[in-house]
Every structure is written in C-alpha cells, then in structure tokens.
Structure 1
C-alpha cells in the first residue's frame, strides 16, 4: 500500500508506506527495473510517476562531469532568488535530515547541484556516484532521479532504490520538491533529502513539499514588496500604461487587461514594439523596470502561406510571428478580404449552421487576445494594412 496525500495543488504519492520493509521493497523493484532495462516495455505495476520518468529518460550511462568551483560560485551569485532561500532550507530541513541520516541538496532551475549539506558519511557516499556540487542531475543527464523527476513533473517526487535508472543509485532514496516562482511559473530550484533507501519514509515527502511551498510564499512576498517599491519610485504617465519589472512582472497598469506577468521580448530596448499580450506599444525604461504605453506607430501585417498558418506582425523594431489555429486562420483570412469589417453574423459562415452565437463570439475574443491591438470590433476588422507573401 502506498501513501498518498494532497498538497496545495496536486495528489502526491510516497514511494514507501510507513512500516513497509525497505529491503523487501527494493528487491521487488529490482526485478521490475531489470525487466525495463532489458527491453522497452515498462511493467504496469511501476508507479505512474516513475513510469513516466523511465519513459522520458531511458537508462542513461553518461559520465557525470561537475562544474569547477568558480562556475559553481557564479551560479550561486547569479541566482538571487535561490540564494535568498538557502537560510530557510537549512533552518527547516538540515537538522531533521541529519537526524535521519540524510543530506540536504539544493539545486538550481537547470538541475545543477549548488549546495550539498549534511553528515560527512552520507556526503562521502554521494561523492562516489557523482552526486556533488556542480553536477547536473536532470533526467536527460543521469536518468530517473528525484531532482530530475521533480523538475519534469513540477511536483514533489520520491524516488526509491531501483526506481532510479542507474544501478549505482539503487541504494539511495531521494525525496525532492521543486520551488517555483508563482508569478512566472518558472522553476527557481529543487530541494532534496537524500540518503540510504533504508531511511525512506513518507513523511519526508510531506516535509519537503511543505518547505517548498513556504519558500514559494516567501518569494511571492519578496516580489510583492519589490513591485510596490517599483510603483512608488516611478512617475506614472497619464492615460493607459503598464509598469513592469525587468522580468515582466506587472507592478501597476491602467487601461490594460493583463495578468501578473508579461513575456517581454529578448533584448528589449526603448522604442516601438508589438508585444504579445499588449499589442503595439512604446517602451521606455523606468527606474527598475519598464513602462509601456500605446503607440501611434504604424503596424503592418503579413499572412504566411496556408501551410504555415501564421500572421507576422511587423513594427518599427522588428517582426513577431504568431501561429494560428485553422479556425483563427480562416477568420483573419476573411477579415483581410473585407477591410471595412464584418459583423459576427457575417463571420458565422465559417462555422456549422447550428453553432450558437456565443461560441462564435468566444472564438473571436480568443483571437483578439492572441493578436492584441490588431483586430477592432463593431465591426470586426484589421486595424493595420496586410500583405501576403509570395507563397500564396
């Protein structure tokens, strides 16, 4: 019997039930691992999270080559979010890990191990399998393991004994939880309790999950404070605008319907841009971020071939390719043929006759959200001139 509990967002499954014999469990898993390693079929009794990881990673035998000390230091210093949480991880986990004969491992969003803390006896064992600072432990590097599986699944994961892909890890249990930036849904890092498989316990999974969510809440509080300071230290323009930090987290806005995060273009500079989610904007640097306002600069649209089904939005600063579904392509194509615009009733010909009007309007709303500032309503029409490439 496995132990399951619900974390804040998902159902999490421990590898071992309380009181279950680790040695017997390892023997049963060894046979399953051997069947998988010798063929391509994964036995049905393998836990789903492990089966998915085995399927993704395969039985890798790559050499593990850690980064040097200088590269490790650079990664630590450049990852301000993760570094700010190390004290919390030590306070919540290190003492308990040591008492249980485990080590605390902190890795970054790329899978690089940056801190290995805990009993020297455990660290010496982990040195022997390359589980050291500077090593990268993604599934694509070392096969199924706690860090890699937690990174891929974006949920806490416990990998026990022969559930690991590589045989040298079969004497270990690794209980890992990802730490996410909730504002951007990006992976900040992963925390892991690792030790002999004989120390496995379902409570370890609950513990790392709880600490990971505490860390995420701390990051959220940090970001909220930074965004408040950003709003207070900038003189905001009249009219419609959006103020963001350098990562695109929204500190303040007026007249825009946006969420808490905008995907900013790589290498953003001051000038005229078309930004997905905003439309045509003027971008200028603020104190600690960016301010975007609506621009009067002209846009030009290009429709690619029907095979590609793309609209290319050309602005003064460059071009943005927007992939479209078949239905969205049909709508844009029809609007391009009617520059004065069409009502929803006229566009209805693109759907079966029985399609409700509310369905059509909802699809049009989704398309306008995908191409903000490009399609006006009442009637629906393209607001920028459109050209077709030679492939049409």
Structure 2
C-alpha cells in the first residue's frame, strides 16, 4: 500500500518501527537523488534543501565548539526565557522524565542553554553533542527540532529519519518557537526529544501548548512592567506642557499628555538620549526615565528630503527595515508576517488590494480581515510612507530590497503562495 507523508505521520502513532523504516527509505532515496517511495513532508523537504545548500554533510558528524560556561551563564541572564523556565518545567518535565524524554531550551541563535529530563536520555544526548552550549542551528547540524522551528517560526516535529544527519535518525524531536510578545522577535525554541519508540505525534501539540503558556506569562510580565512605569510617568508628565509620552524600552506606551494615546512607538535600535526623529511623532527630545524613555514631541516640522526604505531580507531570522528621510533615519526589526507583507508591496509598486494580498499570502482572497488587521499594525510605524486603496508605498518613496544570494533562502518561514513561487 502506498503511503503519503500524512500517512507516515499517523503510522508513527501505532507502529513507530515501520514508520521509521519507511522514512529511512525516503531519506536514503531523496538525499541520493533517486525517486523516493514517499515524498518527504514539505517542511522537511525544504529543510533538507537548506541544509544541503549550507554544506551540511548528512553522513559525517560535525560539531562546533560549545559555548564556555561563562558565556552560557551570560546568555541565560540576558534572555527573557529565564522568566518562564518554571512554566516550561511544570508543563513538560513531569511527563518527559517518565516517558524517557528530555526538555531542551535554546536561544534565538540555536545555542542550547538548558537541558533537563530523563537521566539515561541525557547521557545518550551527550553522544550526539546535544549538550548545553552546543550549536544546533539548522545550517550547522541539519534538520532538527531546535534549528528547524527557529527558521520556519512554527512548531515542527522531526521524526526519526526526517533528521538530515544520520546520527540523529534514532531520535524524534518536537520543537516550538518562543516569541517575545513585546515585539514578535524570536527568543528561542523549546524542544522535547527522545528515542523514536517513545514519541507520539501528539507530542508536538503538547510542546506547542506549553510554549504558548510561556508566551502568555511573558505578556503578563510585560503588562506588569508597564504598570510600574506608568506610576513613575504620571508625576513626570504632570509637570510638562505640550505633547509628551513615556514608553518602555521596546516603545510600548505607559502614559501620554497633550496628545492622543498611541499603543506603541517605533524606536530605533539602539536609542540614545538627545533629539531624535521618531515615526510617526516627528522630532522628539529623548530622555531616560526609569526603565523607559520620556519622549517630548517637538513642534518643529518633520525633516524634509527624499525618503528611502531598505528592506533587508538576507537574514532569515532577523529581517529588518531601514527608513531614511532627509538627515533622519531609523531601523526596525520586522516580524515574519510584516516581512512578507512589505516584500509583496515592494514587488508591486502599483499596489495591491486586500483581496489580492490575501490571495498571495494565504491562497484565499476571502481572508481580507486578517490582511487589513496586519496592515493596520504596519501603518502604526510606517503610515506616513504608505497609501491604501490599494495598499502601496508612496510614489515619492524609493524602495530597495536586499535579498539572499540564493532565492530559495528567501523568507524560509513563509508559506505564502507568492513567496513560494519565487523560491
């Protein structure tokens, strides 16, 4: 009986050994350029292609030098993931230890920062170099439950021979990205790994649900920090005339005076005290205040001159946009969805309506509500340079795109049909 990729995934729930044999045949045929009895799942096939382009050898183990203890400690103290470790441990470890799994938490660069769980599985992981401080980026060790979710920015289970490297094919890994609710950036990945015979397809949903609980906890912590900043901001703003607001380090507004409330201000990185041009406020006097910034809005006009927007899509995990207007400029890291939208608008200078964008992003012209909601968020920091009906960049704005050398590396997280056609 012929099996589809979905069938193999379902088969793993009832006969992991047979599913592993099928996937071993798929891997051997695909990586040798022969016709495979079953096509790999699309997310796995694209990951294998990326690994080959990066020169990963599927048969010979390569291990980069792990981080020093001091560097691991520094990264642990710097990442927001440390605040939600109790959530991850409570949700995953009690089951993981009994079920012969381990929990692995990596940062946004694929470096393993925490690793806990079943003792025998931890020892086996040592043999793979799956240790604290190790580099498990996809471009270093191939398709895996840490590196691949970081690239595609969604949960991925890598079962047995879906791993690119032969040494990992006796394992199954289920990883989910951890996203910073403040700005949508990738914080890292939480993964549950173990011998293939102990795993189940439902593991992925379990890991993803715990990752979402952790993100919800980060959101609660952020709201609490805004409340504390608001208490400091109120007396400071009461003494000021004119327009001013207090924002946290990520631009989220704690309090305003003399102007309508705006949820967030796009802050350049890094931001320093002094006169700065901030969209959409214009020229502002920037002063540090507690754990945020006091922004006093000037009544001077926005700097004049030609406007230029550069979209940098060369780094899959850190797409960004730099806006220059006269002598002022600012840079913003883009969420995966906003990177898709701005790329599509740059491809079509004449503009796209909501239905056309929905078709290009989702293959469904009816999803206009989602498109309009995302474009509303984009316009909060780029509104002065965008027009709508249809959505497009302003005619007097020069738009430049920096693209990967290989078009198949373009927005690897994206499942948008329009992006897939270009890749």
TM-score range, shorter chain: 0.7 to 0.9
Distance 2:243 2:34 in 1: 57
Contact 1:155 1:177 in 2 (8 A): yes
The answer to whether residue 46 in structure 2 is matched with residue 34 in structure 1 is no
* Distance in 1 (alpha carbons) for counterparts of 2:386 and 2:124: 60
For residues 140-159 of structure 1, the aligned pairs below 5 Å read 140-159=139-158
- The alpha-carbon deviation at position 279 of structure 1 amounts to 2.9
In structure 1, the residue matched to 2:404 is none
Q: Which residue of structure 2 lines up, in the alignment, with residue 78 of structure 1?
A: 78
> What's the secondary structure of 1:233's corresponding residue?
helix
- Asked whether the 8 Å contact 1:111–1:138 carries over to 2, the reply is yes
Match of 2:91 in 1: 92
Cα offset, 1:54, TM superposition: 1.8
For residues 349 and 31 of structure 2, the distance between their equivalents in structure 1, rounded to whole angstroms, comes to: 45
Query: Per-residue deviation at 1:370?
Result: 2.8
Q: Cα gap change, 1:156/1:98 in structure 2, threshold over 3 Å: closer, same or farther?
A: same
Cα deviations by residue, 1:298-347 (Å, 9 ceiling, x for unpaired): 55433379x99x984235xx5458999599799xxxxxxxxxxxxxxxxx
**Residue in 1 that maps onto 2:272:** 269
| Structure 1 residues 232-247: aligned runs within 5 Å | 232-234=231-233, 235-236=236-237, 237-247=240-250
Report the Cα offset of residue 120 of structure 1: 2.0
Contact 2:11 2:19 in 1 (8 A): no
**Between Structure 1 and Structure 2, whose CA radius of gyration is higher?**
1
**Aligned-pair RMSD on alpha carbons?**
3.8
* Residue number in structure 2 paired with 1:339: none
* Contact 2:101–2:194 under 8 Å retained in 1: yes
Shift of 1:227: 0.4
Report the Cα distance in structure 2 between the residues aligned to 1:209 and 1:84, rounded to whole angstroms.
18
In the other structure, the counterpart of 1:343 is none
Q: Matched residue of 1:174: which SS?
A: strand
Paired with 2:215 and 2:381, the residues of 1 have a C-alpha distance of 29
Task: Classify 1:85/1:302 alpha carbon distance in 2 versus 1 (closer, same or farther; 3 Å).
Answer: same
Change (3 A) 1:298 1:240: closer
Which one of 266, 270, 278 corresponds to residue 281 of structure 2?
Answer: 278
CA distance in structure 1 between the partners assigned to 2:331 and 2:217 by the alignment: 37
- Following the alignment from structure 2 to structure 1, what is the Cα–Cα distance between the partners of residues 379 and 67? 46
For 1:123-162, list aligned pairs within 5 A. Answer: 123-162=122-161
8 Å CA contact retained: 1:171, 1:197: yes
1:47 to 36, 41, 47: 41
Deviates more, 1:84-93 or 1:168-177: 84-93
From the superposition, tell whether residues 151 and 16 of structure 1 become closer, same or farther in structure 2 (CA, over 3 Å): farther
- Segments of 5+ residues of structure 1 without an aligned counterpart are 5-12, 331-362, 376-381
Unaligned segments of structure 2, at least 5 residues? 312-321, 333-341, 352-374, 388-393, 399-423
Q: Distance in 2 between matches of 1:40 and 1:294?
A: 64
| C-alpha separation in 2, matches of 1:35 and 1:329 | 45
**1:63 aligned partner:** 63
| Structure 1 residues 14 and 246: alpha-carbon distance in aligned structure 2, compared to 1, 3 A threshold | farther
CA distance in 1, matches of 2:252, 2:142: 34
Does residue 313 of structure 1 match 2:312? no
TM-score, normalised via structure 1 length: 0.73
